Structure 1
């Protein structure tokens, strides 16, 4: 048993399958499956139930998962403490960035951080806000870009706040409206982010609170694909204003939503109780300098 095996097993449990876990750990599905099988043979028990659509841990697997998380936390705390001995000239920052808006919010910070701290490596994990929050809480990330609100166990600094807008095909019957409400999409086809994204939860909750049942034709994690579907006339989609504006094309229009609560509030978050290395603190401090609420 080694740390890599535990890390892979934890990711399989989080992702609910070998294929998605392999993408996160930069490996192949067959390698990830083999590592977990070897771990099961070493421990002498079955750790995963593979019989259903999604892989879930067995009782023994849940126990191993719990202790594996603790081992990985201790390892990262030790690494961070050793980096402290060298100040901010070296070290590693494990940063989680959202798939929505990371090019606009985080790329400039990463570039500036690299120029100021060339000896510090930034390991980037890209995922939806929900899965990033889980990884941060598990101690697998130092910092993560999350949509607010966040659990009380996390501290954060808000970096940006902007409205969510509707993106419609130019020939859509609602395309000429100056402003739209979720009620306007009552029985119309819509394209949503998948369930790993906080924007998915935000919009689904908004529809449910109003007893609305739009026709969700697909869910995706790919911004360009979602906009292409809207441009092709398949339905409307919803994104933060800056993301929509940055990907504007002739076939679509952007219409504001009349819902003040539908705000894309992005923050840099970290664990309230836990070790935060000097390198990670330096990244967070630089983010505060570069970004301010309402600047996007």
Structure 2
């Protein structure tokens, strides 16, 4: 069992993974190559397994190294968060906040909501990062993030859901696509077309597939994208028609593409979560209120699924 892991070892490992070579990692850390090599060797000896494959100057993580790096990233994020909060306390400032959101909400809704915060409500340090819904739930439950803005469901007894809403998915098309002239795209019109959709089969993708099946639509081919923005880029390149959540095209429009409602209600739900039992900072309360306002003003067909008054009440 590891007994004496230290921060220098952890930082050396993270730097090597980021840089890909001992030489570049040493430059990043302002240490000698031999010092970095020694720290990695000590870390591997302490853990009892190899973290890196060495092939000449290039370094790649082992399978265990990849898994360990996930934990290292989480650890370092927590340390940065702690440092920023400690410095804010020393300056008698509002504490730093950490917000994690799925990509669809991180690129549009969340920045707009932050921009609406009143003078004095925005902390000096704001950490905004994108993550999958599963990673987001882990971060908020572990209290390395103050607020999560996620697609639903997010089922965890360690989380409190403060506000949620849903809106129907849309079709995204190139501006010169014949279907762009339609007020509403009928799913049957996608028969024989290449479909672009987000790939997680356990979340929105399942509802998209079910709706196509019920409409008797068989796409000619399918491109899976891990984000809606990537799907929109594929549409702009002429690769097909996307069926995606409505938040990204409405809040982060991409030149050359348009979005249209479809004749099937394929709901996309999202909401805001914090750690169960943790006091919600004033800045987070204000931000949640603005997220609700921006969502309602931006997304056509939005249906509020509920607001917890003490979390996102009138300001």
Q: Which of 263, 271, 276 is matched with 2:275 structurally?
A: 271
- 1:45-194 mapped onto 2 (5 Å cutoff): 45-46=49-50, 56-57=63-64, 89-113=93-117, 115-117=119-121, 120-153=124-157, 154-158=159-163, 160-172=165-177, 174-180=179-185, 182=187, 184-194=189-199
Gaps of 5+ in 2: 29-35, 55-59, 299-315
- Quick check: 1:96–1:127 contact (8 Å CA) kept in 2? yes
Quote the offset at 1:207 in angstroms: 0.5
C-alpha deviations, 1:123-178, integer Å up to 9, x for none?
22223434323333444322221112211322122265432211112444544443
The CA distance in 2 between the partners of 1:220 and 1:77, in whole Å, is: 27
- Quick check: 2:160–2:276 contact (8 Å CA) kept in 1? yes
Are 1:28 and 2:28 counterparts? Answer: no
Are 1:243 and 2:248 counterparts? Answer: yes
The CA distance in 2 between the partners of 1:177 and 1:162, in whole Å, is: 20
Counterpart for residue 308 of structure 2: none
| 2:222 partner SS | strand
C-alpha deviations, 1:28-50, integer Å up to 9, x for none?
34449977665223333346899
- Quick check: 2:169–2:266 contact (8 Å CA) kept in 1? no
The CA distance in 2 between the partners of 1:103 and 1:70, in whole Å, is: 22
C-alpha deviations, 1:70-109, integer Å up to 9, x for none?
9889979988997998898342322113322334322133
C-alpha deviations, 1:59-80, integer Å up to 9, x for none?
xx98x89998998899799889
| 1:291 partner SS | helix
The 3 A distance-change label for structure 1 pair 228 and 161 is same
The 3 A distance-change label for structure 1 pair 266 and 93 is same
Gaps of 5+ in 1: 13-17
Are 1:295 and 2:301 counterparts? Answer: no
The answer to which structure, 1 or 2, has the higher relative contact order (CA under 8 A, 6+ apart) is 1
| 1:247 partner SS | coil
Quote the offset at 1:229 in angstroms: 2.8
* Aligned-pair Cα RMSD in Å: 4.7
The 3 A distance-change label for structure 1 pair 181 and 69 is same
The CA distance in 1 between the partners of 2:6 and 2:238, in whole Å, is: 51
Counterpart for residue 203 of structure 1: 205
The CA distance in 2 between the partners of 1:55 and 1:164, in whole Å, is: 40
| 1:89 partner SS | coil
The 3 A distance-change label for structure 1 pair 4 and 122 is farther
TM-score where L is the length of structure 1 = 0.65
The CA distance in 2 between the partners of 1:210 and 1:219, in whole Å, is: 18
The CA distance in 2 between the partners of 1:73 and 1:118, in whole Å, is: 20
The 3 A distance-change label for structure 1 pair 126 and 267 is same
Which region of structure 1 is more displaced relative to structure 2, 72-81 or 105-114?
A: 72-81
Counterpart for residue 233 of structure 1: 238
| 1:253 partner SS | strand
- Quick check: 2:88–2:96 contact (8 Å CA) kept in 1? no
The CA distance in 1 between the partners of 2:61 and 2:185, in whole Å, is: 38
